[in-house]
């Protein structure tokens, strides 16, 4: 059994990539707040397809790192409740602040890992996979690393489009528009239209 504690403010819909492939023994706990409390239709569909037990934890906000503290507390609770069982715990985030928590539990022989999605991908493996996917879609393969980085860094389609226009400037924005059009299948879950 695996527990996935999702920092939804941090990873948003991308953090739930692979949720529809999890077995029924796994538990996915999505920590969200008023700052991040919406789902795309694509994510809603994937959650419905999942056999895993999905739990939603709305957390209190108002203080810095409020979600992080509540997620960390819940992790401690789960570890205590399941002491003696060989469970693995995954914190789904790109926030490196959780590394101290992973080390804390590592010293106590508890398997806690940081991943960027429930498919258990690390940041570097996800970047490599995204670069490969982008390279397949772009006419100029050399642009793939920069475009993949932009896809990861921007949460909205508009933000990504603006970044592309800034990175690939021209009078008619032709190159930026071609790139944006080519990568549309990869950004379907981003906010905006």
d(CA 153, CA 167): 14
Q: Each residue of 61-96: pLDDT tens digit?
A: 888 889 999 999 999 999 999 998 889 999 999 898
The answer to whether 4 and 27 are in contact (CB under 8 A) is yes
Mean pLDDT (whole number) for 4-30: 93
Q: Identify how many contiguous H helices and E strands the chain contains and give both numbers.
A: 8, 5
pTM for the structure as a whole = 0.68
The yes-or-no verdict on residue 189 having pLDDT over 70 is yes
DSSP string covering 85-134: S--EEEEE-S-GGGHHHHHHHHHTT-EEEEESSTT---HHHHHHHHHHHH
Assign 128 a pLDDT band (cuts: 50, 70, 90): confident
Assign 124 a pLDDT band (cuts: 50, 70, 90): low
Mean pLDDT of the residues in the chain: 89
């Amino acid at each position: 059994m695996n527990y996935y504690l999702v920092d939804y403010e941090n990873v948003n819909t991308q953090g739930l990539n692979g949720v529809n492939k999890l077995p029924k023994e796994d538990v996915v706990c999505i920590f969200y707040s008023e700052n991040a409390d919406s789902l795309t239709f694509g994510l809603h569909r994937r959650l419905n397809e999942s056999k895993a037990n999905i739990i939603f934890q709305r957390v209190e906000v108002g203080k810095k790192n409020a979600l992080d503290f509540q997620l960390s507390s819940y992790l401690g609770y789960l570890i205590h409740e399941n002491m003696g069982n060989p469970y693995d715990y995954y914190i789904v985030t790109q926030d490196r602040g959780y590394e101290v928590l992973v080390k804390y539990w590592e010293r106590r022989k508890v398997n806690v890992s940081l991943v960027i999605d429930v498919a258990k991908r690390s940041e570097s493996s996800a970047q490599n996979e995204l670069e490969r996917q982008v390279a397949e879609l772009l006419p100029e393969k050399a642009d793939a690393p920069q475009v993949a980085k932009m896809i990861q860094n921007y949460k909205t389609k508009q933000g990504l489009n603006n970044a592309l226009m800034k990175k690939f400037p021209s009078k008619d924005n032709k190159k930026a528009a071609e790139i944006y059009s080519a990568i549309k299948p990869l950004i379907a879950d981003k906010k905006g239209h």
